[in-house]
Amino acid sequence: MTTIVLVRKNNEVVVAGDGQVSMGNTVVKSTASKVRKIEKRGVVAGFAGSTADALTLFERLEAKLEKHAGNLSRAAVELAKDWRTDKYLRRLEALMAVGDKENSYIISGTGDVLEPEGDVIGIGSGGNYALAAGKVLMGTDINAEQLAKKAIEVAAEICVFTNNNVKIEKI
């Protein structure tokens, strides 16, 4: 499990994730990076779920972005369709939070491409804690990067599957 938060504030888009990788009740790594940036397309993404599954999905997202000229909305829908219908991809267990300068989405293996109502997305075991903290912090003067980091730190205080080794990517 993991915690990922994506924040849109003042023309900044930031995705942050904790560094904990757990197997059952055991922490096997505390410095993992679960957030990525697709520099060429101005997209940031975070993954919650199995690491190998997340890496596979990230590669697929990147390919869809290339195919659809960087159109994140189209790439997200096409990835979700493949994820739901492809025999191999259907077995992948992960969630993705992705964003560019205009859009933010949660993509799931059930074919969902969800656009949040606000400017904060939280996924993973501590996602609801980070989401709640992020929503409260949106009303403060801190920037998007500080907000995302603080939201993960709040989740780390509550969720045993989240640590405060925060990795951040922004556009």
CA-CA distance, 75 to 8, in Å (whole number)? 20
Rounded to 5°, the CA angle 133-135-138 comes to 105
Got the DSSP string for 43-97? EEEEEEE-HHHHHHHHHHHHHHHHHTTT-HHHHHHHHHHHHHH-TTGGG--EEEE
Place of tokens 């697709």: 38
- Cα–Cα distance between 163 and 171 in angstroms, integer? 24
The verdict on whether 56 is a catalytic residue reads: no
Scan for tokens 């993509």, then name that residue. 107
User: Distance (Å, rounded) from C-alpha 164 to C-alpha 171?
Assistant: 22
Q: Which of 2, 3, 31, 51 is catalytic?
A: 2
* Residues with catalytic function: 2
